[in-house]
Amino acid sequence: EADIYQTPRYLVIGTGKKITLECSQTMGHDKMYWYQQDPGMELHLIHYSYGVNSTEKGDLSSESTVSRIRTEHFPLTLESARPSHTSQYLCASSEPGQGGRYGYTFGSGTRLTVV
């Protein structure tokens, strides 16, 4: 049962449009992450946050931006979508504190197609 929610599940949008992918979790997790997953299925970290007002860029450069105004909410925005942004975007969160014992909880993903 998912405690982390991503909307929309699928999105087809035209080039140049601004889009926001939503991610919310109800577990009180402080750390949240965005991954881009291409057809080859490899996961690339594009953004992460350690708490409110904390955001960092990940290992893969991305034209998207994120914000973390509330603990439970971590939206990703593309100001001007391009076909190269076509991909699946996965949101994840992990528990407070140190240790990383329990890994991540993932959302169901948003499959974005830019035409």
Partner 1 sequence: AQTVTQSQPEMSVQEAETVTLSCTYDTSESDYYLFWYKQPPSRQMILVIRQEAYKQQNATENRFSVNFQKAAKSFSLKISDSQLGDAAMYFCAYRSRLGWGNKLTFGTGTQLKVEL
Note the residues at the interface with partner 1 (CB under 8 A): 2, 31, 33, 40-43, 45, 48, 50, 90, 97-109
Q: Name the minimum Å distance from CB 19 to partner 1.
A: 20
Q: How many CB atoms lie within 10 A of CB 105?
A: 17
92, β-bridge pairs: 33, 106
Nearer to partner 1, 14 or 39 (CB): 39
22, β-bridge pairs: 7
Nearer to partner 1, 14 or 40 (CB): 40
Q: What one-character DSSP code corresponds to residue 39?
A: T
Nearer to partner 1, 28 or 100 (CB): 100
Q: Name the minimum Å distance from CB 5 to partner 1.
A: 10
Q: Name the minimum Å distance from CB 16 to partner 1.
A: 28
Alpha carbons 20 and 28: distance in angstroms, whole number:
22
Q: Name the minimum Å distance from CB 95 to partner 1.
A: 12
Alpha carbons 90 and 104: distance in angstroms, whole number:
11
Three-state SS at 96: coil
